[in-house]
Amino acid sequence: MSLPQFDVQGSLFESLGAIAPELFSDNDKYKRFAQKVWPVLAQSREQLIECYQADNGRPGVEPVVLLGVMIFQFLERVPDRQAVELVKYHLGWKLALNLKLSEGGFHPTTLVYFRQRLIEHGKADLAMRAVLEALQKEGLVPTRSKQRLDSTHVLSAVRDLSALECVRESLRLALEELGAKLAESERPDFWELFWERYVQSALDYRAGQEVLKNKHHQAGQDGQRLLQWLEPMAPELRYGPKVELLREVFGQQYEIKSAEVQVVKEHAPGVVRNPNDPDAQWSAKGRGTQKKSWVGYKVQVAESLPAEDAPKQKRFITSIVTQPAIAATIRAWRKPLEIKQSVACNARANFTWMELTSQRPDSKRPRIKAGN
């Protein structure tokens, strides 16, 4: 996809800023965005070009506009479909994004593909990086300052499964992946049994503990049987994404002793909690009544603090890094500090205030009891 022609100033006869400059007051957030933030985003277009084929295919939606739309999505908490409607009907958005009054918007999936382009080309933080550099030039973020660091939790959009549910779900995903690749004549003799057991049937939560225990052991035997059958098969079957995930879950949930599959009694941190989001981890923060446990990720945030001789300075977030939920706090701060030094400060901070809320790095890592 190629890029359209880009005009920083906008149309003299069609842009809202040229037609009705007095429609918004000087303190209006949309007018301030158009005056202060839009030029900064426009300067980053050279980096956005790397995400496109300059002379291949039909012109796409202007990437600087999409970058601005993503910022307003965050500010006004709107989903993709509603954001496109605001681009089409909201005069404030048209002014801030330097759009013509006749701008008709675009398809909501354009934002999905644009985010994917940014991720694939390592430019997910492009907007934040550009704005921080502008703030530094204005003196709002000093080059040498105190930084407050803290972390918070992010919930995964999947349910926390028991060990038995995790194994069964992994088997289901692997069978569905293989079912799309194998012809009926190529499937093993146990295929219909496994398909009925793990794809077509659901786990009965009203069953007793002994029944669930037997199902857990049975799922381990079935998983081992399926993985062994795949050993001599072609690489595209043996190393499919869902089969590899099943292999990982099987290694975490079971162990082979005396040629028999046995359920692991205790799980170390880092095991897959839900195969639909294998990177989401269980973690806990705080103690006593303040303790919070979740399945998901951990976000490390760095915030600048005003200098003592500049009370008018504001606080700005200088780094946001998403990391595994079980990452130790001391180790997890290395990346935010590196980003802060290279992006926002361009110099090493002379003092850092760290709010540590998780366990010490030299303490023993907790172990999670396995459940059915």
d(CA 99, CA 313): 32
pLDDT band for 335, please (50, 70, 90 cuts): low
Choose between 136 and 80: higher pLDDT.
Answer: 80
pTM beyond cutoff 0.75: no
User: Mean pLDDT over all residues of the chain?
Assistant: 82
| pLDDT per position as a tens digit, 115-161 | 999 999 999 889 998 988 888 888 777 767 778 888 888 899 888 89
Q: How long is the chain?
A: 372
d(CA 54, CA 27): 38
Choose between 204 and 248: higher pLDDT.
Answer: 248
User: Alpha carbon 55 to chain centroid distance?
Assistant: 31
pLDDT over threshold 80, residue 336: no
Query: Taking residues 313-326, what's their average pLDDT?
Result: 83
108-124 burial: b if 16+ Cβ within 10 Å, else e: eebbeebeebbeeeebe
* Closest to 97 in 3D by CA, of 83, 107, 109, 79: 83
d(CA 129, CA 118): 13
pLDDT over threshold 60, residue 206: yes
pLDDT over threshold 70, residue 365: no
Residue 293 near residue 156 (C-beta atoms within 8 A): no
DSSP state of 163: H
Supply the pLDDT for residue 114.
93
Longest CA–CA separation in the chain, Å: 82
Query: Taking residues 204-216, what's their average pLDDT?
Result: 89
pLDDT band for 354, please (50, 70, 90 cuts): very low
Query: Taking residues 223-228, what's their average pLDDT?
Result: 95
* Closest to 127 in 3D by CA, of 184, 233, 181, 47: 47
Residue 171 near residue 311 (C-beta atoms within 8 A): no
Query: Taking residues 159-169, what's their average pLDDT?
Result: 92
Query: Taking residues 59-78, what's their average pLDDT?
Result: 92
pLDDT over threshold 80, residue 218: yes
E-only strand ranges, 229-339: 254-257, 260-263, 266-267, 281-285, 292-304, 317-324
DSSP state of 300: E
d(CA 13, CA 3): 23
Q: In the chain, pLDDT over 90 holds for what percent of residues? A: 42
pLDDT over threshold 90, residue 4: no
* Closest to 66 in 3D by CA, of 111, 6, 7: 111
| pLDDT per position as a tens digit, 288-313 | 888 888 889 988 888 888 777 766 67
Of 8-22, 33-47, 327-341, least confident by mean pLDDT is 327-341
pLDDT over threshold 80, residue 315: yes
Number of Cβ within a 10 Å radius of residue 276: 17
pLDDT over threshold 90, residue 340: no
Of 21-35, 69-83, 114-128, 334-348, least confident by mean pLDDT is 334-348
pLDDT over threshold 50, residue 268: yes
pLDDT over threshold 90, residue 51: no
